[in-house]
């Protein structure tokens, strides 16, 4: 019986060895994320997987994210590998931190840039917007595109907000524990770090 308990304990420990031991995802600050990276209680992969899980669980109700980057996990794995191989832990700036971009911020990768409109779905963006270039240079993981008012609510000063043909009616402007969103996290000077 004792041997069975030990085997069971060993199996549980083996299964949890690669997971985040004590990192608190809910309301995590950038400083807490950096500390988690530095002390080994967090990886970019775990952070991205957590937020992808939150999107999968909450987005059918909230309609906050209209597209997830299929390359996000690869970007996170690359950030973890860079952090491991750098020797100094390389935890500054936004290295390995997932961000969401509003759908009117241009990205040259596989993500659509539609400003919430079906008219632009599938259009090709030739280059990243300047802010995206700076985010990528800082090592940020582009997690996806956030829903927004179609055309940034250009059509009416009296119309209802939060609606787009592509993303539907959004239910929130910010959700506690959701990925960091570019429009509420950063000022232009933050990206220089």
The 3-state DSSP class for residue 143 equals strand
pLDDT in the model for residue 9:
39
Query: 0.75 cut: is pTM over it?
Result: no
Domain residues of the chain, as ranges? 26-186
Q: Which residues of the chain have pLDDT under 70?
A: 1-22, 88-91, 154-163, 165, 168, 170-193
The neighbouring-strand residues paired with 145 are 67, 101
**CA 100 – CA 79 distance, rounded (Å):** 17
| pLDDT tens digits, one per residue of 21-42 | 567 888 889 999 999 998 889 9
Q: Can you tell me whether residue 125 is helix, strand or coil?
A: coil
For the chain, what percent of residues have pLDDT higher than 90? 46
140 close to 105: Cβ distance less than 8 angstroms? no
Alpha carbon distance 117, 3 (integer Å): 61
Instruction: Name the average pLDDT for the chain.
Output: 78
26-186 has CATH 3.90.1300.10 classification: yes
Give pLDDT, residue 71.
Answer: 97
Cβ–Cβ under 8 Å, residues 62 and 10: no
């Amino acid at each position: 019986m004792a041997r069975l308990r030990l085997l069971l304990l060993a199996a549980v420990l083996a299964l949890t060895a690669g997971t985040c031991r004590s990192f608190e995802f809910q309301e995590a600050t950038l400083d807490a994320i950096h500390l988690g990276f530095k002390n080994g209680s967090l990886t970019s992969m775990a952070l991205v997987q957590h937020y992808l899980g939150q999107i999968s669980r909450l987005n059918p109700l909230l309609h906050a994210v209209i597209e997830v980057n299929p390359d996000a996990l690869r970007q996170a794995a690359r950030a973890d590998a860079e952090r491991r191989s750098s020797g100094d832990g390389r935890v500054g700036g936004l290295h390995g931190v997932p961000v969401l971009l509003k759908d009117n911020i241009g990205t040259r990768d596989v993500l659509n840039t539609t400003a919430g409109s079906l008219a632009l779905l599938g259009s090709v963006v030739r280059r990243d917007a300047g802010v995206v270039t700076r985010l990528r240079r800082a090592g940020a993981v582009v997690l996806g595109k956030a829903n927004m008012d179609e055309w940034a609510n250009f059509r009416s000063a009296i119309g209802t907000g939060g609606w787009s043909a592509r993303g539907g009616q959004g239910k929130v402007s910010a959700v506690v524990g959701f990925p960091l969103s570019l429009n509420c996290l950063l000022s232009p000077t933050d990206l220089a770090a």
